[in-house]
Structures are given as structure tokens and as C-alpha cells.
Amino acid sequence: MISLIDYGAGNMASVRKAFEHLALETEIIDKPEQISKATKLVLPGVGNFKSLEKLEQTGMRAAIQESVARGVPFLGICLGMQWLFETSTEAPEVQGLGIFPGKCARFTETPRSLHVGWNQISFCNGSSRLFQGIADGSYFYFTHSYWCPIESSSSATTQFQTEFAAALEKKNVFGMQFHPEKSGDSGLRILKNFGELPC
Amino acid sequence: MLSKRIIACLDVSGGRVVKGTKFVALRDAGDPAELARFHAEGGADEVVFLDISATRENRTTLLDAVRRTASQIFVPFTVGGGVRSFEEAAALFDCGADKMTINSAAVVNPKLITTIAKRFGSQAVVVAVDAKRAGSSYGVWVKGGTEPTDRDAVTWAREAQECGAGEIMLTSIDQDGMRSGFDCELTARVSEAVSIPVIASGGAGSGGHFIDVFTKGKADAALAASIFHFGLQNARELKQELQKSGIPVRLPC
């Protein structure tokens, strides 16, 4: 069972449909006790970093922290990946999980302030578990205006204005700046790899 | 490198796919969900449904088509046409659309862009601008390109961005259905005026037209309807042609 964390913002439906297409069972959860019972967690996300404060207010942040520490596989998508850092200049008062050091910053205004579309990723090393079966240089669909810094756990980077982290992988914690659920066969393969990780 | 997007556009009326020439003379071309999957598998980077029904009575049929399509394709899926309110936009997202386009209603009430963007994010709000040349500038037309307004296309695109639009879908009414090329001048003017992506639409008839709109027109993406519909090319073939001219595209796909 893959548990999708709902914090009241963004569209859960497309991530859920992608897992269902892969015949992987999902549930949508929004309570700390549900998070504690989950064996695989996904934090999807679109929208504003500020919306993530709901995780703190509802006690879900602490539950996620505890599950991650126990080794439960966790995948943060887009905003969900940004939340794995300390914070974002989008809403500096909202605390991220801080698993990865640094903060997310905004792209410059010109000529394009949003990174929207299909971009290629470059692997940082060949050993990523979620990129099994994916070729280096594959295209994925991005849509975001804030970016995450590259650090030692980055498993792939991409280039738009600057080079930034496209994916992260540290033990049981994974992050994708792009949307695997909207990235065709390559994206579905990543979700399948996540679904097949041992619990 | 960020690639230029080729977007398959399906004009939908009464829950069926049709394609107009200059917004009239419809021709039935099939089931939306089937065609959406066909285009996604053929290498389209995104799929757009534009509901061009003249009346509201087929809204349920549209929503049903959106729902069926969203469970079958795993590339970005945009739906628009005739959206008048926040509730109608929300219904599209509920049915699985990733983005929605808004046109006439936003011209009347630009705050609607902000309301939808605040709830669903700017990335989900595409403002469609239908422009028609008027002397040395371009005017905004509404209601499926049948009614002029006093707005200037470039100024309106910038205002839409300030209201929270994530992308501009820019259609040249003059070129739509002509298959003689995009209006690159219009596209470049709008593209230079905004910092959000511009999707060019109207006039595609050959690979060369896409090369022009991505270079001279400075478009981030281009919409193609008629060239896909009747077996001229699929997106993959089109992209192969673009790649040979140095346009960055998603290949293999």
C-alpha cells in the first residue's frame, strides 16, 4: 500500500492515477496516526511552500519525521521534495523537514521565471534505486519557480538558469523536482521502482 | 536543456473531437480519450482539450471525457473552453485535468485568474488569448473569436501574468485553420513582454512553421491540431524534423 499524504493543497488525483495504472494500491491520508501506520509514504505537491505549514499544524510533520527515521520509504514530489530541505525563500517562516541542508530559492524573472516543460536530467552516480531502467539524459516534466540546491545526496541534476537538484536519494528518502506522474513511460518506471522497494 | 513543447490540441464539442477552420465548419474526428492516448503515444508533450460547444448542456459529457482521458494518459493534460467560474474550473481539476485554460471570463473578470491560481497554483492556470491583427497592433477577441474587445493582446497577456497566470496560450485568429504558418510577429511580441511560457497556436501546416515559431516567434511551446488530426504527421515525426534544425525537443519519446 502506498500512502499519499494530503495537506489540503495540490492535486492528489494524478499521482494516484499513475500508481493505479501500475496496479499499485494507494490510499490518501491526512492524520498523524495514519502516517505512523503507513509502509510507504508519498508527499505530492504543487503550489506554495506556505501550504506545507498544514503538516506542522496537524502534527503530520512529526509523524513523518518519526516514520522516516524508522526507515519507511518516503518520496517527495516537486514541492514535496523542496520540503525535505530546511526552508524556502517562498515562505521562510515555514520549516521544512531539514533532511537535506540548504534552502530553496526562486528563479530570476527574466527571460522566464517558471521552469515549465520537459527537461533532461543528468545522473550524479549510477546507483540510484529509483532510476533503475532509466537512461541518463532522459526527459521529465517540470513545473516550478523555486529550485533546490545540489548536495551530496543529489541523484540527478538539471539545468535551467542554473544547475540544480532534479532528484535526491538518501537511504529511504527520495525526492523528485519533476513530476514522475506526468513524465510518460520514464516517470511511470520511477513510480514502479518506488512501489517495488522493500518496505 | 529545456525542450520546446509540441502540444496536441483536440477541439471537443458534445463530447466528441471536432476541428474547425476559422472556428467554423466542423468535422467529426472521434473519441477524445482515444485520440488523447493516440497523441500521447505518438510523442506529444502535452494534450489539450478545448471545449468549443456553443451551449452548456454538454458540460457533463465533457467532464466524462476528461475523466476517461485523465486515467489513460500520463503527460500533462489541459482542459478549457467556456470556463466561467471558479466552480467550473474546480470541476475540471476534480476530473483529473492538470491545467485549465480560461479566456472570455478572464477578460471580463481578471480576478478569476487570481482566485483559481491561489487554490490550484499558477502552474494550473493557462490564460488563452485570441488575438486578431488591427493595424500595427493586435486586439483581443472573445467568445470563440467572434467578439472584439478594447484590449490590446500584449498588454492583456502581461496583465494576465500579474494576476497569476502560469502560461499564455496565444491564438492568432487570422492564421487559425489556414495552415500557412503561425503569426510569428504576434507571438514574439507577447513572448518578449511576459516571463511565463507562451504557447503559440493557429496556423500550423508544416514542420517549417514550427521551426519559425520557435525561432522567430520565440514561443516556448506550440499547439498543433489539424496537422495531427488527419494522419499528416504525429508529434514524433514532427520533432525529428525540428531536431534536425537544432530545435531542442524531447526525443526519444
ipTM entry: 0.93
pLDDT of residue A109: 87
Nearest by CB to A184, which of B1, B71, B75?
B75
Find the residue in B nearest to A20 (Cα).
B71
Task: Spot the catalytic one: B45, B51, B130, B220.
Answer: B130
Question: What is the residue-level pLDDT of chain A in tens, covering all 199 positions?
Answer: 999 999 886 668 889 999 999 999 999 999 999 999 999 999 998 778 888 899 999 999 999 999 999 999 999 999 999 999 999 999 999 999 999 999 999 999 888 999 999 999 999 987 899 999 999 999 999 999 999 999 999 999 999 999 999 999 999 999 999 999 999 999 999 999 999 999 8
Residue of B39, B123, B253 for testing the chain A interface, max A β-carbons within 10 Å? B123
pLDDT tens-digit series, residues B164-184: 999 999 999 999 988 899 999
Could you give the CA distance from residue B79 to residue B10 in angstroms, rounded to a whole number? 10
Determine the distance from the C-alpha atom of residue B153 to the mean position of all C-alpha atoms in its chain, rounded to a whole number: 16
Average pLDDT over residues B38-58: 85
Least confident of A80-89, A160-169, B23-32, B88-97: B23-32
Least confident of A131-135, B155-159, B161-165, B233-237: B233-237
Residue B54 pLDDT grade (very low, low, confident, very high; cuts 50, 70, 90): low
Domain map of chain A by residue range? Answer: 2-195
Residues 6 or more apart whose CB falls under 8 angstroms from that of B108 comprise: none
pLDDT of residue B53: 79
Contact A47 B121 (CB under 8 A): yes
Fold classified for A2-195: Rossmann fold (3.40.50)
Q: Is the pLDDT of residue B24 over 70?
A: no
pLDDT of residue B13: 86
Contact A144 B123 (CB under 8 A): yes
| Between B50 and B55, residue with greater pLDDT | B50
Nearest by CB to A112, which of B75, B93, B195?
B195
Contact B93 A109 (CB under 8 A): no
Nearest by CB to A182, which of B94, B98, B120?
B98
* Contact status of A69 with chain B (Cβ, < 8 Å): no
Contact B250 A118 (CB under 8 A): yes
Could you give the CA distance from residue B13 to residue A85 in angstroms, rounded to a whole number? 46
Could you give the CA distance from residue A26 to residue A17 in angstroms, rounded to a whole number? 9
Contact A17 B71 (CB under 8 A): yes
Could you give the CA distance from residue B159 to residue B151 in angstroms, rounded to a whole number? 11
* Contact status of B167 with chain A (Cβ, < 8 Å): yes
Contact B70 A117 (CB under 8 A): no
Contact B220 A116 (CB under 8 A): yes
Q: Is the pLDDT of residue B27 over 80?
A: no
* Contact status of B8 with chain A (Cβ, < 8 Å): no
pLDDT of residue B55: 65
pLDDT of residue A47: 76
pLDDT of residue B150: 96
Residue B21 pLDDT grade (very low, low, confident, very high; cuts 50, 70, 90): very low
* Contact status of B76 with chain A (Cβ, < 8 Å): yes
Contact call for residues B161 and B195 (beta carbons, < 8 A): yes
pLDDT of residue B43: 93
Q: Are strands A74-77 and A41-43 parallel, antiparallel or unpaired?
A: parallel
Calculate ∠ Cα A174-A179-A182, nearest 5°. 140
Q: Which residues of A are tagged catalytic? A: 78, 179, 181
Residue of B74, B99, B116, B251 for testing the chain A interface, max A β-carbons within 10 Å? B74
Domain map of chain B by residue range? Answer: 5-244
Percentage of residues of chain B with pLDDT beyond 90:
68
pLDDT of residue B232: 56
pLDDT of residue B19: 63
Helix axes A13-21, B59-70, angle to 10 degrees: 50
Q: Residue A117: its chain B contacts at CB < 8 A?
A: 2-5, 45, 197, 220-221
The DSSP code for B41 is H
Instruction: Name the strand (E) or helix (H) holding B184.
Output: helix B184-193
Contact B75 A160 (CB under 8 A): no
Contact call for residues A189 and A182 (beta carbons, < 8 A): no
Side chain identity, residue A153: S
Average pLDDT over residues B78-87: 92
* Contact status of A117 with chain B (Cβ, < 8 Å): yes
- Average pLDDT, rounded, for chain B: 89
Task: Report how many Cβ contacts below 8 Å link chain A to chain B.
Answer: 97
Q: Which CATH superfamily is domain B5-244 in?
A: Aldolase class I (3.20.20.70)
Find the residue in A nearest to B191 (Cα).
A111
* Contact status of B223 with chain A (Cβ, < 8 Å): no
* Contact status of A199 with chain B (Cβ, < 8 Å): no
pLDDT of residue B25: 36
* Contact status of B3 with chain A (Cβ, < 8 Å): yes
Average pLDDT over residues B36-64: 85
Residue with cell 473578470: B109
